[in-house]
Structure 1
Amino acid sequence: GKALFANSGSEANDTAIKLAWYVNNALGRPQKKKIISRQRAYHGVTVATASLTGLAFAQEDFDLPIARILHTDCPHYYRGAKAGESEEAFAARLADSLERLILREGPDTVAAFFAEPVMGAGGVIVPPATYFDRIQPLLKKYEILFVVDEVISGFGRTGNMFGAQTFDLKADIMTLAKALSAGYQPISASLMTNALYEILLAQSDKLGIFGHGYTYSGHPVPAAVALETLKIYEERDIVAQVRRVGPRMQAGIRSHADHPLIGEARGIGLIGAVELVRDKATKQSFDPKAGIAAHLVRRAQHHGAILRNMPGDVVAFSPPLIISEAEIDEMMACFGRALDDTWTMVKEKQLA
């Protein structure tokens, strides 16, 4: 394949949108331009990528989304499943819903489908095992490009080098950032398959230059850091390290699943989350104004662990890939203390 470099995940996904539009113009399909993303997705904050992002904070006050951007269901079984519905049935229903959207809009108007293997900023949402097995044949059937956003899941986070390997995804375009340089320098990439590149090459004379690129695209300093980062991933076998310690973190997160505050404990590899609820039986959330997850994160920091709160009272774990099992145990102990502190506060204020 070929790569186009940029500075951030937002820019890499923006480039992917333009690639999808350019390719369809090259193929004489000027109507095939709509992009489908998902509720709770996070793909960036440029005008176009904030439109793909399926979270209110990225859109509400900016008059977004722009035209031609559509959203389908979020594959969150805990929140989205009907009573008695199995994970397989839930995945099948979401695939049917996507196909109905494609047919309603007209397959000849839909250019691409964007997905994160694991939804990151949307709350660390791991899809059901059969979800992508159901989705991918539809994309093939209707000639819709599959853009896999690996900005968070790329470079070992899920226990494989890429999330696409973990979930057996066949991407036409893959976007990378963050861990490409381990966060030390701003660099991102939009990778395309050889097949896609051949289309660009064959049609470019007819269409004219692919007029896209940034001042700092492929800047030598971030590029050198990225090359060194990739070397370290290989030399230190970081993927094997994640496979070794990931189960310890997942077990640690799930060990708190019975706590009265936790509705769901979830994750894969070295990314995970808990969703805090007011009522476990009904899955009723707290009033967002109560800031329960933010309180827990502050208490965790007090006890020595840096966690992140997300919309919907989700608390996320995404430690350095080199973390040891002993450090995971320490992080979980800090989290446990913060959880108990938060439960005490909730009871004192009679919030549950």
Structure 2
Amino acid sequence: MTLAPNSAEARDIAYHFHAYTNAEAHAETGPQIMERGEGIFVYDNHGKRYIEAMSGLWSVAVGFGEERLIEAAVAQMRQLPYYHNFAHRSHGPAIDLAEKLVSMAPVPMSKVFFTNSGSEANDTVMKMIWYRSNALGQPEKKKIISRNRAYHGVTIASASLTGLPNNHRSFDLPISRVLHTTCPHYRKEGRDGESEEEFATRCAEELDSLIKAEGPDTIAAFFAEPIMGAGGVVVPPATYWEKIQKVLRQYDILLVADEVINGFGRTGNMWGCQTCDIEPDAMVLSKQITSSYVPFSAILLNERFYAPVAEESGRIGVLGHGYTCGGHPVGAAVALENIRIIEDEGLVARAAETGAHFLERLQRLADHPFVGEVRGVGLIAAVELQHPEHHDALKPGTLGATMAGLLYERGVISRAMIDSMAFCPPLITSKEEVDQIADALEDALGTMEKMDFPA
């Protein structure tokens, strides 16, 4: 690869250390540089237009270039560009947003704590859980259970909750006190002859067995995404959540719902908890809360969770936790306006309707020899690729990386999760636009069918 010395690509290779990227490969291939966005589209520095079928990173709910969000940020910058919530301080946008989120919650919630990212929020919930256990005189009740293939973030603690091997390798993770149980992916984890309901029952039984083996008095909480995102867009089978929650209630274990991807309409309801009929003790929100126009996240806690934490802060004299930019006034103002747009434009119902059409289009491809499974709900979906003859002989990720490149050539940005292609377009996406995504995928599958993938 030959690049002009002062080109953006050359300077990126020289100075920019990228997230979720093979650093050595990046030095050879270089970056794909985006310059602007408009609606569901982004444009690279060569003027080519792409459908952003991942909403950036599962997050740009209202699309790119939304003037209402830009104006909300500018207005708040002019009035109060920054303040904090330490030591009894507050400001209007944080107060208004906390009230709004509690009023929107799918189950009764008591308080909102503001953070800056989903990773940071999950990390904070873990600290609060340990703090609460100490407040209740239960110093041994500190272990937390997550699931294989879960995604809860990348800080040391939240990456431990994450159940993906590459988030642990060479990082010395997961930390102690974090355990993992079965991923509720029937196609991958179900046994021969086992029905989906039987599989759901086994998932609950395996959780129960893990709790008993570790000791019920040592397990404090269970973390889970209602619909799993980065682990492959896994939609749990019917009765799964009913059975899992029954186990948690039996042992008085807190349930933390990670709504970072699910929340604010992604699953066709405002919350993934509504889609899956979950009654959490805490909810973690980020990404679509501001359509990622500014970094922002929030935690909702019910009174059962909050009250012991508050009492312990009274005993100690302070809650020794917080972030410089937690509850940032610009972020809170943008979040409030973003929620107004979602409500004003009926984007939750639109996600349900457009999503149903999109899944119907994708299901038409389910019999293609290179398609193993189509799954999803609302405007989040995955198409799992397989090789019809020698899939097991291929290096994992080969088909996914190939398909990501083929779609990019066709002006569609997707994301390969090993060999599953994720689709998570903005909530404003029309039926005609999801047809364009499906058409590009179908055309790319035709090309893939003619390619040589040696065993």
Q: Which has the higher contact order (CA 8 A, sep 6+)?
A: 2
User: Is the counterpart of residue 244 in structure 1 residue 353 in structure 2?
Assistant: yes
Normalising to structure 1: TM-score of the pair? 0.95
User: Is the counterpart of residue 100 in structure 1 residue 228 in structure 2?
Assistant: no
User: Is the counterpart of residue 36 in structure 1 residue 145 in structure 2?
Assistant: yes
Normalising to structure 2: TM-score of the pair? 0.74
Q: 3-state DSSP class of the match of 1:114? A: strand
Equivalent of 2:445 in 334, 339, 343? 339
Give the equivalent residue in structure 1 for 2:415.
308
Gaps of 5+ in 2: 1-109
Contact 2:140 2:217 in 1 (8 A): yes
Give the equivalent residue in structure 1 for 2:242.
133
Contact 1:42 1:53 in 2 (8 A): yes
Q: 3-state DSSP class of the match of 1:267? A: strand
Tell me the CA shift for residue 202 of structure 1: 3.4
- Partner Cα separation in structure 2 for residue 255 and residue 241 of structure 1: 21
Contact 1:278 1:286 in 2 (8 A): no
User: Is the counterpart of residue 18 in structure 1 residue 127 in structure 2?
Assistant: yes
- Partner Cα separation in structure 2 for residue 134 and residue 290 of structure 1: 33
- Partner Cα separation in structure 1 for residue 323 and residue 397 of structure 2: 42
Tell me the CA shift for residue 214 of structure 1: 0.8
For residues 185-224 of structure 1, the aligned pairs below 5 Å read 185-224=294-333
Equivalent of 1:80 in 174, 183, 189? 189
Change (3 A) 1:196 1:289: closer
Q: 3-state DSSP class of the match of 2:200? A: helix
- Partner Cα separation in structure 2 for residue 84 and residue 107 of structure 1: 32
For residues 319-330 of structure 1, the aligned pairs below 5 Å read 319-330=425-436
Q: 3-state DSSP class of the match of 2:412? A: coil
- Partner Cα separation in structure 2 for residue 290 and residue 170 of structure 1: 36
- Partner Cα separation in structure 1 for residue 323 and residue 298 of structure 2: 12
Contact 2:386 2:399 in 1 (8 A): no
Q: 3-state DSSP class of the match of 1:190? A: strand
C-alpha RMSD of matched pairs (Å): 1.4
Contact 2:397 2:416 in 1 (8 A): no
Give the equivalent residue in structure 2 for 1:297.
404
Write the deviation string for residues 265-295 of structure 1: whole angstroms up to 9, x where unpaired. 1111000001111248x9x545236621111
- Matching residue's letter, 1:145: L
Q: 3-state DSSP class of the match of 2:376? A: strand
- Partner Cα separation in structure 2 for residue 78 and residue 54 of structure 1: 18
- Partner Cα separation in structure 2 for residue 212 and residue 233 of structure 1: 32
After superposing the two structures, state which structure 1 stretch, 333-342 or 45-54, moved more. Answer: 333-342
Change (3 A) 1:208 1:129: farther
For residues 163-178 of structure 1, the aligned pairs below 5 Å read 163-178=272-287
Contact 1:26 1:207 in 2 (8 A): no
Change (3 A) 1:290 1:14: closer
Larger Rg: 2
Write the deviation string for residues 103-127 of structure 1: whole angstroms up to 9, x where unpaired. 0000100011000011111000110
Tell me the CA shift for residue 300 of structure 1: 0.8
Tell me the CA shift for residue 237 of structure 1: 1.4
- Partner Cα separation in structure 2 for residue 92 and residue 165 of structure 1: 21
- Partner Cα separation in structure 1 for residue 279 and residue 437 of structure 2: 35
Tell me the CA shift for residue 205 of structure 1: 2.1
- Matching residue's letter, 1:112: A
